[in-house]
Chain A
Amino acid sequence: MKPAPFTYHRARDVAGAVSLLTELGEDAKYIAGGQSLVAMMNFRLARPAHLVDLGGLRGELAYIRDDGGVLRLGALTTHHQVENAPLGPGFAVLRDAMGWIGHLPIRTRGTVGGSLAHGEATAEWCLLAVLLGAEVVVQGTAGVRRVPAEELFLSFFTTALEPEEMIVEVVFPRPAPHAALTEFAQRRGDYAIVAAAVDLEAERVVLGGVAPVPLRVPEAEAVLARGGTFAECAAAAAAAIDPPADGSGGADYRRALTRTLLVRACEAAMRR
């Protein structure tokens, strides 16, 4: 199918883009890599009346900066840029997770900011942002605010962003040398049925595919905090969740995947 008609605008700078989106109202959307939005528009699942193309801001907003243990990613940084970045051991978990996102031609276009704004609950960037306690820097009409990743995701594809707010940067405040993400999908490159991520130092466990948003599991984190085994941690997670059942798997299946994947993630994190 073909997308419904819309009016195309080019952003020249961040402030201008935010003003334009405010002016155009709720029928307007930003487009970054287009790897989620264009697919939805081709199927007419989305029919914005206006698109504001952020492509022209790549010079300004596509960057990877490691300021001594704090990693800053510009919103327009692509998955593939991160995949190729010379990140030290503190942030290698980000680089290594990129291979799970779709395929090479998706990763050369899709962006960090677009993934977070799209807010798919199994999206790797959403899980990683919650796992590493990232802050999402957002520009709106009233200025800049910083949203903790844990407060960004409200429900299925629903974030705490106002329609005109633009993600400009993601800040990862601490290195995570012993963290890992792993997942399972029927076909390579598909969104995961279940994804599991762990940071052993911060004692954080985050799951995707078991709730409408990336889910922290305090019961499993408590097992890590008291020095329990990885198997106990995974069992606690599987017992704590109430996963949905849909075409790609029932609740019991997702619990079983959680148990297996979380052990794998813990082992991978420890091996680093």
Chain B
Amino acid sequence: MTEKLLISLTVNGERHDDLVVESRHTLVDVLRHRLGLTGTHAGCEHGVCGACTVLLDGAPARACLIFAAQAEGQEIRTVESLAGGGEMNDLQRAFSAHHALQCGFCTPGFLMLAEGFLTERPDATRAEIRELVSASLCRCTGYQTIVDAIEDCARGRRREVGEVR
């Protein structure tokens, strides 16, 4: 029996009521196929590759290991939330500047991973960032440029906070 559920999800600040999903639909599938948010990618679907990483109440999580129904009531953020007014955010610009992507399949996952991590640990060291990126797989870049980009973005954000003070 295929059970249908009526759920509502809050994604990138927008509430989607009356979503009809199957109980077995994972969050990544609902984001992509029901909401058309195809920035979040699906790779391995068992928690290993990180392509599906999104933020749940601000914390990085695997959208392939969460049933959509479980995410009701939580704030979901996807890669589409980073850019504003047609402008990439500082993290995205750092990825671009450091050549931290080639094919781009892994990129949305790395961006959301880093976005969530830097919010919690704005003072992260390079060693901690290296440790962090072990959470996602990239077949193209060799990771160094991804670490460079995240570190550069963190430095920039610290500078900005310093100037405001």
Interface residues in A1-59 by Cβ distance below 8 A to B read 1-8, 31, 34-35, 38-39, 41-43, 51, 53, 55
Q: Name the residue among A5, A38, A53, A105 with the largest chain B CB count within 10 angstroms.
A: A105
Interface 1/0 per residue, B17-33 and A, CB below 8 Å: 00000111010010000
Whole-angstrom CA separation of A194 from B50 in the bound complex: 25
Q: What A residues does B134 contact at CB under 8 A?
A: 103, 187-189
Q: Would B135 and A42 count as touching, CB distance under 8 A?
A: no
| Residues of chain A lying within 8 A (CB to CB) of residue B40 | none
Closest Cβ neighbor of A35 among chain B residues: B65
Cα(A35)–Cα(B56), bound, Å: 14
Q: A4-B24, A188-B131, A188-B134 are in contact. Are A35 and B47 (CB under 8 A)?
A: yes
Tell me, in angstroms, the Cα distance from A264 to B62 when the chains sit together.
Answer: 33
In-complex Cβ contact of A7 among B3, B47, B50, B131 (8 A) = B3
Pair A108/B46 contact, Cβ less than 8 Å: no
Q: Is the CB of B60 within 8 A of A108?
A: yes
With contacts A5-B1, A53-B69, A103-B135 taken as known, whether A42 is within 8 angstroms of B46 at the C-beta atoms is yes
**Neighbour of B67 across the interface among A1, A8, A35, A104, CB < 8 A:** A8
Given contacts A34-B67, A38-B26, A38-B65, contact A105 B5 (CB under 8 A): no
CB of B60, distance to nearest CB on chain A (Å): 4
Identity of the chain B residue whose Cβ is nearest the Cβ of A4 in the assembled complex: B24
A38: B residues at CB distance < 8 A: 26, 47, 64-67
Q: Which A residues form the contact surface with B (CB < 8 A)?
A: 1-8, 31, 34-35, 38-39, 41-43, 51, 53, 55, 80, 99, 102-106, 108-109, 187-189
- Assess A34 versus B117: contact at CB under 8 Å? Given A5-B3, A103-B135: no
Question: A267 CB to closest chain B CB, in angstroms?
Answer: 21
Contact of B23 among A8, A104, A187 (CB under 8 A): A8
Q: Is B37 an interface residue (CB 8 A)?
A: no
| Cα separation A187 to B64 with both chains bound (whole Å) | 21
The minimal Cβ–Cβ distance linking A238 to chain B, given in whole angstroms, is 29
Residues of B that sit less than 8 Å from A by CB = 1-3, 5, 22-24, 26, 29, 45-47, 50, 53, 56, 59-62, 64-67, 69-70, 113, 116-117, 131-132, 134-136
Closest to B62 in A: A105
Residues of B with C-beta under 8 A to A103:
50, 132, 134-136
Which residues does chain A contribute within 8 Å of B135, judged by CB atoms? 103-106, 189
6 contacts between A and B (CB under 8 A): A3-B26, A5-B3, A35-B62, A39-B46, A53-B67, A80-B59
Q: Is the CB of A34 within 8 A of B65?
A: yes
CB <8 Å contact, B59 and A108: yes
Distance in angstroms between the alpha carbons of A32 and B11 in the assembled complex: 22
A35 CA to B50 CA in the complex, in Å? 13
Contacts of A43 in B (CB 8 A): 46
Known contacts A53-B69, A189-B135; is A39 also within 8 Å of B47 by CB?
A: yes
Q: What chain A residues lie within 8 Å of B65 (beta carbons)?
A: 34-35, 38-39, 42, 106, 109
Residues of chain A within 8 A (CB-CB) of B60 are 104-105, 108
- Alpha-carbon distance A34/B2, docked complex (angstroms): 20
Given contacts A7-B1, A53-B69, A187-B134, contact A105 B61 (CB under 8 A): yes
